[in-house]
Amino acid sequence: MKNGPLFFLGLVSAVGLSWAGIVVGTHGQLGRLTSYYDNGESQAYPAGLPGLAAQGQDVYRSLGCASCHTEQVRRPDFGSDQARGWGDRQSVARDYIGQSPVQLGESRIGPDLANLGARKPSPPSADELMALLYSGKGAMPAYRFLFHTHRIYGQASAKALLPMNAAMRPAPGYEILPTERAELLVAYLQSLNQSYEYPEARPAPAAKAGQAKEAAK
């Protein structure tokens, strides 16, 4: 190789091709994805994140939660995602159109959270999530800096943490209050819900999927 401009052209096309194929190609496929309007329920899915939850997503990003938790459920026959109760269907691209940044995560030191707000039989309550954040559990550290302990003046605050375990019992006359960040984070965690079945998310048996394609033609 001695032709500099030709070499440079090769470099440009190496990056350009992978960019065009992967980024532009996916954009063509997913870029115009909109929410799905369910006529029966007169509602669009995914429902946008409520204001508190949207701010909570930023707390989730800021603390780096995504370094231990994923937010993506794989299809029922791939891994144990369904058996662990993380979701009855796989996550699809439409689930994420309202989120930014999308934090799919790449490590499962802790459980998947994509459907935390739709856990069966019942999703964790705000009190339980606060207790988890305050005391930690197993490999999950305690995020004490999301809380502060106050002396009770007059009446105890309605927001004070319920003492769910021994570590959460403050000295008499004191109460543990969540900071705003803790409240936002819990609002976000409770909002995580991918239970709505989009047409593309329904697991179709292999034979029927073939027939459906035929019918669509």
Binding residues for other proteins, per CB under 8 A?
1-2, 4, 7-8, 10-11, 13-15, 17-19, 21-23, 26-27, 29-31, 33, 61-68, 70, 72, 74-75, 78-80, 83-84, 90-97, 99-111, 136, 138-145
Q: Return the residue matching tokens 């309605």.
A: 158
Which residues are registered as beta bridge partners of 150? 175
If the CB atoms of residues 104 and 156 are measured against other proteins, the closer one turns out to be: 104
| Residue 59, CA distances (Å) to 10, 49, 74, 173, 176 in order | 43, 14, 25, 30, 20
If the CB atoms of residues 86 and 117 are measured against other proteins, the closer one turns out to be: 86
CB of 74 to other proteins, least distance (A): 4
Angle between helices 180-191 and 126-135 (to 10 degrees): 120
CB of 8 to other proteins, least distance (A): 8
If the CB atoms of residues 154 and 199 are measured against other proteins, the closer one turns out to be: 199
CB of 110 to other proteins, least distance (A): 7
CA–CA dist 150, 144 (Å, integer): 14
Contact 53, 191 (CB under 8 A): yes
Contact 110, 140 (CB under 8 A): yes
CB of 197 to other proteins, least distance (A): 14
What b/e sequence results for 127-163 when a residue is b if at least 16 CB atoms lie within 10 Å of its CB, and e otherwise? eebbbbbbbeeeebeebeebbeeeeeeeeeeeebbee
CB of 42 to other proteins, least distance (A): 24
If the CB atoms of residues 31 and 154 are measured against other proteins, the closer one turns out to be: 31
If the CB atoms of residues 135 and 190 are measured against other proteins, the closer one turns out to be: 135
